[in-house]
Every structure is written in structure tokens, then in C-alpha cells.
Amino acid sequence: MNSASAAPSPRRSTCQLAGAKQLSFADLHDQTILSPRGIGFWEQIYQHRIPGSRILYQKHAHDYSELVNYSILPYFTTNLTQLDDNRGADLPQNRLTIPLTDQVAQQKFYACFLRENQRRLTSLIQQLQDQWAKVD
């Protein structure tokens, strides 16, 4: 299961988001939010669920990391982001991660493969399940 969260900056005491225990997409209306580009269906969810927000998409992982670490803008992350060496390694440690409660923010993933490839893929699937268990 992949769960989306918003991470507002605690450095800005006027940020209404920072004090929340949980958020919904509706709470993010009119916010400017950082997000990596190329995140598949998440981009469509953001556009549909928070059309009044300004999502600043960043194509390059380094640029995204710089903006996330040196700005006070909130950013989107998931429980799987930290498993991605390109995007998860440089996330700031001083940010609050606040879960999104909308049902659409909870996504299930399935692996489909040919039966003849099961033996080859069993180890990879087990590694993925072990990694996900660490962040769930």
C-alpha cells in the first residue's frame, strides 16, 4: 500500500498546515506545494483533488531536493519515497510528515507477471514486500 502525505515546514509558525495531525486534499486548496515530476497517477490525483493549488513540479531530483531543503513550501511524499534512492535520500529530516486521510491517497499495488517467470521474480517481490513492511 502506498500512502500519500504532505510535509509542511515547521520553520514558519504562520503555516496552518504544520499544526495538523492529519490533512485532506481539501485542506491543501490554495497552497503552493512542491512535487517531483513523473510520479504517474499522483499528478492526476493532485490536479483533480486540489485544482485550486499551485503544484510546482520538478523534473530533476537534485532541483527538487534543493527546493525541499531550502524553502518553506510544503511538499508531497509517500511512505515509499524513502525507498527511492533518487528522491528519498535527500528529504529534510526537520519536516513534519502529515498523512492525507482521503481514500484516494491510499493506493494498492499489484504485481502481474507470467507464471513462467514466477521463479525469477519471487526474490524481487519478496525484497519489495520487505522494504514496504519497513515503512508501513
Distances (CA, A) of 1 to 15, 95, 104, 128, 132: 29, 23, 11, 11, 8
- Its pTM stands at 0.73
- Quote the pLDDT of residue 13: 42
Tens of pLDDT, residue by residue over 79-90, are 766 665 555 566
**CB-based contact 80:129 (threshold 8 Å):** no
Determine how β-strand 32-36 pairs with β-strand 98-99.
unpaired
Buried b (16+ CB within 10 A) or exposed e, 30-66: ebebbbbeebeebeebbeebbeebebeebeebeebbe
pLDDT by residue, tens only, the chain of 136 residues? 555 556 665 554 446 788 889 999 999 999 999 998 988 999 999 999 999 899 999 998 889 888 988 888 888 887 766 665 555 566 677 777 888 999 999 888 788 899 999 999 998 888 878 877 776 6
The class (CATH top level) of 2-106 is alpha beta
**CB-based contact 92:16 (threshold 8 Å):** no
Nine cell digits for residue 51: 485544482
Domain ranges in the chain are: 2-106
Question: What is the per-residue DSSP string for 62-94?
Answer: HHHHHHHHHS---EEEETTGGG-TTTTTT--TT
How far is Cα 33 from Cα 65, in angstroms, rounded to an integer? 13
